[in-house]
Amino acid sequence: MGSAVQSAPGWKLFGKVPPRENLQKDSKIIQQEYEARTGRMYKPPPPSTRRKNIEFEPLSTTALILEDRPANLPAKSVEEALRHRQEYDEMVAEAKKREIKEAHKRKKIMRERFKQEENIASAMVIWVNEILPNWEGMRATRRVRELWWQGLPPSVRGKVWSLAVGNELNITPELYEIFLSRAKERWKSFSETTSENDIEDAGASVADREASLELIKLDISRTFPSLYIFQKGGPYHDLLHSVLGAYTCYRPDVGYVQGMSFIAAVLILNLEEADAFIAFANLLNKPCQLAFFRVDHSMMLKYFAAFEVFFEENLPKLFLHFKSYSLTPDIYLIDWIFTLYSKSLPLDLACRVWDVFCRDGEEFLFRTGLGILRLYEDILLQMDFIHIAQFLTKLPEDITSEKLFSCIAAIQMQNSNKKWAQVFASLMKDNKEGDKNHSPALKS
């Protein structure tokens, strides 16, 4: 390849086609080649008889308005020239208005960004110096809860999440290493020749749920694909693989379930490896997550029923609209709950949802769902079943933190003076009484 091609800037890096040498041919050579191929003589078109005014070369639509007409055309009248001048002045004035408006918009965005950065910096000082050293005494105070609602500073987010989730399972970093070693042994034991289809079949059929270790490999590449950091060869690929693998060995009764990779990935982005595993295992041990990841249909139905109680309370029109299409919460809620919104919302917004979820528990997951429905209520009321399902499965990417959280704040988690926990408990009680009434022992 010639040196000229080699020096063409960036063509290798960006996959561009390198420039060809001698790209332009002389017009006479092209004519001769054409005649040789076709046996025809080329006759150039007769020269135009229309006189060109070389001086008249309008460079824009503005010039067309202001310039005098060519000499071969009638001149503009005084009225027309004045009108064109007025139109031009109006165009310039409108352009200036747009420019000023855009400048104000940019300044506003910059001011908001600086303000947000200042708020994060001042909040970080409060969290580091006041709240975290006195965690147990301050976590439930009104001041801390209000500060918490505004979103945690990224630098303390992982620490606050760990403290809020807790470690009821008493997992230690050493225990994590034990289960990670077991996972690595299991990976070695799988045949290298096993196809992906065989792996999926094995994961579904083998009684020992640790067989789902291999399913993890298939799912990691689908985790935040736009970030690339979890893809094979990415800096967090092996780390995510390790945390998920260790968990499947720690909880073979649960195994790996699609959606877990998103939760583990968010924790890995905010915590060290062992701490991420500890938070992950404890988070998935909460009643709501355990019900969903173990696919406990009875418990899942209770959560959906409780959700619908508050859905009807807060958004009666949309509730009836969904009912008219028999559109049930499982159609959209399962994906939201499985990934704790990390797949459905922009990552920074999902992290803010996690912040308050760690503060308020499972109730906030369902409150967030209602907030999303409230935010898009007007749009959803115009849609049919298929379009609603598609819309809620893939939410708009331009969803903002301010708009969503103002809608979440407007959701009242109280029905007939009963809060979420009380409504859910009453549903559980009704279920138990129903089971007793249908018990064969009682009938006999």
Q: How far apart are CA 291 and CA 301, in angstroms?
A: 10
Burial 386-399 (b: 16+ CB within 10 A, else e): eebeeebeebeeee
Q: Are 161 and 269 in contact (CB under 8 A)?
A: no
Mean pLDDT for 162-179 is 97
Scanning the structure block, which residue is given the tokens 């908001």? 112
Q: What is the spatial distance between Cα 187 and Cα 190, in angstroms, rounded to a whole number?
A: 6
- Side chain identity at residue 353, one-letter code: V
Say if CB 427 and CB 303 are below 8 A apart: no
Mean pLDDT along residues 156-170:
96
Task: Kindly state the tokens that stand for 132.
Answer: 């975290």
Rounded to a whole number, what is the largest CA-CA distance in the chain? 111
Structure token digits, residue 76: 């503009």
* Radius of gyration over every alpha carbon of the chain, rounded to an integer in angstroms: 33
Contacts of 17 (CB under 8 A, 6+ apart): 11
Residue 307 · residue 366 · CB < 8 Å:
yes
Number of C-beta neighbours around residue 238 at 10 A: 13
Split at pLDDT 50, 70, 90, the class of 27 is low
pLDDT at 24: 52
Kindly state the tokens that stand for 306.
Answer: 């409780």
Q: Which amino acid is at 421?
A: A
Q: What is the C-alpha separation between 329 and 372, in angstroms, rounded?
A: 13
Is 354:279 a contact under the CB 8 Å cutoff?
Answer: no
Q: What's the confidence (pLDDT) of residue 19?
A: 47
How far CA 84 is from CA of 61, 97, 147, in Å, comes to 11, 20, 59
In 45-195, where does DSSP find H-type helix? 61-66, 78-126, 135-138, 142-149, 154-165, 173-189
Secondary structure (DSSP) of 257-320: -TTHHHHHHHHHHHS-HHHHHHHHHHHTTSHHHHHHHTT-HHHHHHHHHHHHHHHHHH-HHHHH
Residue 337's identity, in one-letter code, is I
Rounded Cα distance between 370 and 392, Å, is 12
Tokens of 325: 């299409």
Residue 15 has pLDDT above 50, yes or no: no
Instruction: Give whole-number Cα distances, 194 to 1, 184, 215, in Å.
Output: 44, 17, 12
Q: Which two tokens stand for residue 308?
A: 């619908």
pLDDT in tens, 274-324: 999 999 999 999 999 999 999 999 999 999 999 999 999 999 999 999 999
Q: What SS3 state is found at 224?
A: coil
Which segment of 57-61, 147-151, 220-224, 350-354 scores lowest on mean pLDDT? 57-61
Whole-angstrom Cα distance, residue 420 to residue 370? Answer: 13
| pTM exceeding the 0.95 threshold for the entire prediction | no
CB 403 within 8 A of CB 375: yes
Tell me how far CA of residue 216 lies from CA of 128, 173, 212, 225, 294, in angstroms: 36, 22, 7, 15, 17
Q: How far apart are CA 176 and CA 242, in angstroms?
A: 10
**Are 66 and 88 a contacting pair, CB within 8 Å?**
yes
Structure-token pair, residue 56: 């008249």
Distance CA 276, CA 263 (A): 10
DSSP-based three-state secondary structure for 403 = helix
CB distance 339 to 262 below 8 Å: yes
pLDDT band at 74 (very low <50, low <70, confident <90, very high): confident
* Of 97 and 65, the one with more pLDDT: 97
313 burial via Cβ count (<10 Å: 0-12, 13-18, 19+) = middle
CB count within 10 Å of CB 329 equals: 21
What was the pLDDT predicted at 381? 97
Quote the tokens at residue 151.
Answer: 């979103």
CB 58 within 8 A of CB 77: no
Least confident span in 29-43, 159-173, 209-223, 229-243: 29-43
Q: Is the pLDDT of residue 105 over 90?
A: no
Strands (E), 8-108: none
Average pLDDT, the chain: 82
